[in-house]
A and B are shown apart, each in its own frame.
Chain A
Amino acid sequence: MLEMPLRHAATVLLESAIRIAPPDTREWGQAMCGELSYVDGPWAALMWAFGGASVMAKHALLSLLIPGRRAGMPPGDELFAKNVSLRKTALVAGAGCILVALLFFGAPPFRQAFRVALRPWYFVFQITSGDIQPRFEALAKRAEVQHDPVGLAFCAVRLRNSRESARLVEEAVRLDPNLLWVYAVVGMRHADLPQISQWVARLERWDPQNALFRLIEAESIEQAQALPSAGSDSTEEKERAWRSAMDAAFQSPKFDDYLDRVEELNRKVVPRYRFYDPYEVQSREELDLPPFAFENSKRFAQSLLHSGEALEARGDRNNARSTYWTVARFGQLIDSQGRTALEHWAGTTLQAMAYRQLQTSSEKGGNQAEAALFSYLAAKFDPISGEHASLSGESAFGPNTSRRNGAVVEISGLMILIFSGFVVVAISILIAGSRRGARPAAERTRPVATMVVLTCAVGLLFSCVTLYLTYRPYWYIFQSAILNGNRVQTRDLQEFLSSTQMLPGVPHHVYVLLDALLYSGSPSFLFYVWAGVTLLGVIGLVLILLRHFLGRPRANRLQHHPRLP
């Protein structure tokens, strides 16, 4: 019953395979097709057709991969073999592409782009603790040898190792007392340092109105409170000290995070030490700003608003509103004088909280016009839906373009590595095959190796061009920010740099997991996994190469076997 459909299917399968086969093998396909009618049984016919179709498909694939393949030529001599000049031309073209690709590495934008492109792998292959920053440590040593206070300050601001950072900033301020402000920047990042109280005291004498020092002091108290050694008595005392510091911060008329001074420092140090690393220079100055100051501000603001509600409940409406306005004013201060996205976000959040409370107070007081105004302001400063919800800074490209460019740069960098690997392997095969007395297998692979060199060299050049052209605008933004202090489009650069921290297509939670693994005291876990995978890959490759070049003993070579007569 199934005989006719199965035989028909077998014929259709084989005829379809013949259609995709190269012309020189179609006759063989027709030969297999001709036998179909004589195969016993429909299933056997179908299996016959499958076998024939696989032969046709294999030849179709080979003709795609090796366009010069011809049936009449003996294998191994197929491509380029009869035409030595063609092979030479291919090799010269390949060498030219490789040379041009190498020339790209002479261009500073390209070198920077290549480093950026390999950045996502940093998380995967990182084998040392996240606190170790070898480039900064080397730079700090140079600055120490040269007694360069700005170089030391530059490193102190960015080092994750708090003790080393504190040592460098002490040395920088000793060499140049005008760098006192660096205490504040380092203090923001490492509020757990024991020197914080001394630093804050010196900073307050130098810039008495800045709220930043009070925020640092409050965080320092908060962290000391969280220590297991803190007793219950000292906890209450520290809570009072924390409230006092936060109260002073909320009363301060000024907020300065000194990022303009950090940028000035960048402009001096980066060209001097040729430290053109956009991740370390551009993104870290903002990304490393801890949110603690703003968490503290939010907590203190909430307690102020609650105390205002209590005052209002007791009928003291004027003092209650004054308390609400304290929160709103501090929010305005942070929003207007802060420079980072986090600071603007914190400022608008505090304002929205205060205006919402003022709206409720006005509604209770029966002043509907005032309530409507505060309602409008609360909505305007809402951190999620308000006008200020988006990150500050100019963004000409937009986050989607930055993400797309980030993916293009990452893929281009990866392709450069892959093509380079293929080129090296193919050139090694060519060299092995060109030696006198080379094994026939090595000689046979030379045409294929020539083709691999040519195609991979073209791919390498294409990847280099793509990487260079995609990254070039960001290089200009970075140069402009470093050399001229022009912050136009730095938001684009930061979005781009953030997007290149992750591999395209890898979900964010995978990176969160990797981050947790790397910073949880077991940084060697991933290293061992990757080392194992790489080692297995290398062993596999060596075995394949050995099998290929040493080869199995062949029947037609046994005539030279010494054991045979």
Chain B
Amino acid sequence: MNTPRMSPETLRVLQSFLERATDWRYGYELSRETKLKSGTLYPILMRLEKYKLLEARWVATQDGVPPRHTYRLTPNGLELAKTQLTEARQRSMVQQPAFCNGWE
């Protein structure tokens, strides 16, 4: 399966999606949770959607306000997010100093 580049920012977005895996999420809401600006967040969302890891839909709003785009991870996206976040945690553990405990 082709996967997008897993930058730390992408992992943050995936982490945010995983926290409420079944919910549809708004862009601004994700931006606040991940502390990413729109110029960083949306390219990640676009890339995830391109790889079919994310699904999007439009939600109608009250009159005079534009409709909102909402997002949710697909089953593939959920699986990949879990794998990648697990690996990232392992990696962060591997990168700890090898003899850290011995010197304490």
Contact = CB atoms under 8 A, between A and B. Distances in A.
B28 A38 contact: yes
Interface in A35-78: 35-39, 47-52, 54-55, 58, 71-72, 74
Nearest to A47: B37
Given A33-B66, A74-B51, A564-B94, A51 B40 contact: yes
Interface residues of A, number: 33
Contacts of A51: 37-42
B26 A35 contact: yes
B84 interface: yes
Contacts of A27: 69
A513 interface: no
A52 B84 contact: no
A477 B38 CA distance: 64
A34 to B, nearest CB: 4
Nearest to A70: B50
Given A32-B42, A558-B87, A564-B94, A37 B65 contact: yes
B90 A564 contact: yes
A561 B6 CA distance: 16
Nearest to A553: B91
Contacts of A36: 66
A52 B38 contact: yes
Contacts of A34: 61, 66-69
Given A32-B27, A39-B28, A71-B50, A55 B87 contact: no
A555 interface: yes
Interface string A10-50: 00000000000000010110111111111100000001111
A55 B67 CA distance: 20
A54 B39 CA distance: 6
A435 interface: no
A25 B50 CA distance: 11
B6 A31 contact: no
Contact of B27 (A35, A47, A58, A561): A35
B77 to A, nearest CB: 14
B43 interface: yes
Contacts of B56: 31
Interface in B56-90: 56, 61, 65-69, 83-84, 87-88, 90
A205 interface: no
A215 B88 CA distance: 89
Contacts of B46: 25, 28, 55, 71
B50 A72 contact: yes
B22 interface: no
A58 B42 CA distance: 12
A555 to B, nearest CB: 4
Nearest to B39: A51
Contact of A556 (B6, B43, B61, B68): B6
A554 interface: yes
Interface of A: 25, 27-28, 30-39, 47-52, 54-55, 58, 71-72, 74, 554-556, 558-559, 561, 563-564
6 contacts: A31-B69, A47-B37, A51-B40, A51-B41, A52-B42, A564-B91
